[in-house]
Amino acid sequence: MTALTKPQPDGTADPSSEHAPGASLHFPVIDWFDEHARDLPWRRPEAGAWGVMVSEFMLQQTPVNRVLPVYEQWLARWPRPADLAAEAPGEAVRAWGRLGYPRRALRLHGAAAAITERHGGDVPADHAQLLALPGIGEYTAAAVASFAYGQRHAVLDTNVRRVFARAVTGVQYPPNATTAAERRLARALLPEDEGTAARWAAASMELGALVCTAKNESCHRCPIAAQCAWRLADKPAHDGPPRRGQTYAGTDRQVRGRLLAVLRETHGPVPQAALDRVWQEPVQRARALDGLVADGLVEPLPGGLYRLPLT
């Protein structure tokens, strides 16, 4: 039995239904997805579970248009986890390019090594086994199990959280960090049927990415506008804590990015003097370099030389 409820012609829920809380949302969002989903390489069958996993690592903090070229090169070079595991972790950092937050490259390399050792090179389908891999958290385990293996899991990314906050909770933005209440809501909204739940996960995420965006939401194109709690309440302004900004210029992140760019573009050790040229302020520069070393992204060598990690 499924929890699906056909909506009324005006998009509202069938008042006679006795179904799961999100039942009236499922059909319109999934139907919309069937018509409007972007054709992205990790959604094609040939991507396989490894392609889905790579894409999830890359997409966590980077927009689709920047991920696409790096994803294609990555999968062409390392079509299976064992191919990546056989390379030095520094090669993963190099290939990560300018996606940002490069610790993700190291984590993906670590996950590939564990998949090769523990699972014969195949990305496991079991949620608990996925979660046990290094570098894989609740979100990625659920996303891979759902998108690659069609399982029933609540997949709560920023886009989904925003859609649920607006459509169901009736507020403009979700909390800064995912709460237990959001997880409970996401589980309560899951369709009972496994295949439908997997479609719902992908569809609600796409709705947040394309229609219910952080700024300038397009309610006139939204398949659940007639039942959206925030819209029906005349869109009350956000009254929670200030939302986290994404400043980059002048931050240690920017300095780290510049230092790593020099190391990525040089095959072999780099002298300190070459790194010193990327940022004038010496204290911040030293802090950024120390941070990269502490994170395992850069390996210091005798004689004031640095390189991407070999082990």
Site residues (vs ligand SF4, CB under 6 A): 163, 166-167, 211-212, 217-219, 222, 224-225, 228, 230-231
Nearer to ligand SF4, 85 or 167 (CB): 167
Name the minimum Å distance from CB 10 to ligand SF4. 14
CA 145 from chain center: how many Å?
A: 14
| Closer residue to ligand SF4, CB minimum distance, 132 or 214 | 214
Q: How far is the CB of 217 from ligand SF4 (least distance, A)?
A: 4
* C-alpha R_g of the chain: 22
Cβ(263)–Cβ(306) below 8 Å: yes
Active site residue 56: yes
Do residues 309 and 294 make contact, with C-beta atoms less than 8 angstroms apart? no
Please report how close the Cβ of residue 76 comes to ligand SF4 at its closest, in angstroms: 36
**Shortest distance (Å) from residue 91 CB to ligand SF4:** 41
CA distances from 177 to 137, 170, 183, 206, 240 (A): 14, 18, 11, 20, 12
CA distance 49 to 34: 21
Catalytic residue among 35, 56, 138, 299, which? 56
Instruction: List C-alpha distances in Å: 251 to 247, 255, 257, 272.
Output: 8, 7, 10, 21
Report DSSP state, residue 46: G
Question: Is 216 or 311 the residue whose CB approaches ligand SF4 more closely?
Answer: 216
Smallest distance from ligand SF4 to CB 232, Å: 9
Q: In Å, what is the CA distance from 105 to each residue of 55, 225, 256, 296?
A: 12, 39, 15, 11
Least distance (Å) between residue 192 CB and ligand SF4: 23
Nearer Cβ to ligand SF4 (144/228): 228
Residue 41 near residue 73 (C-beta atoms within 8 A) = no
Measured from the CB atom, the residue of 114 and 211 that comes closer to ligand SF4 is 211
- Helices 138-147 + 194-210 axis angle, to 10: 110
Backbone angles phi, psi at 305, to 5 degrees: -110, 155
Residue (52 or 225) nearer to ligand SF4, CB: 225
Q: Exposed, middle or buried, 281 (CB in 10 Å: 0-12/13-18/19+)? A: exposed
Residues with a known catalytic role: 56
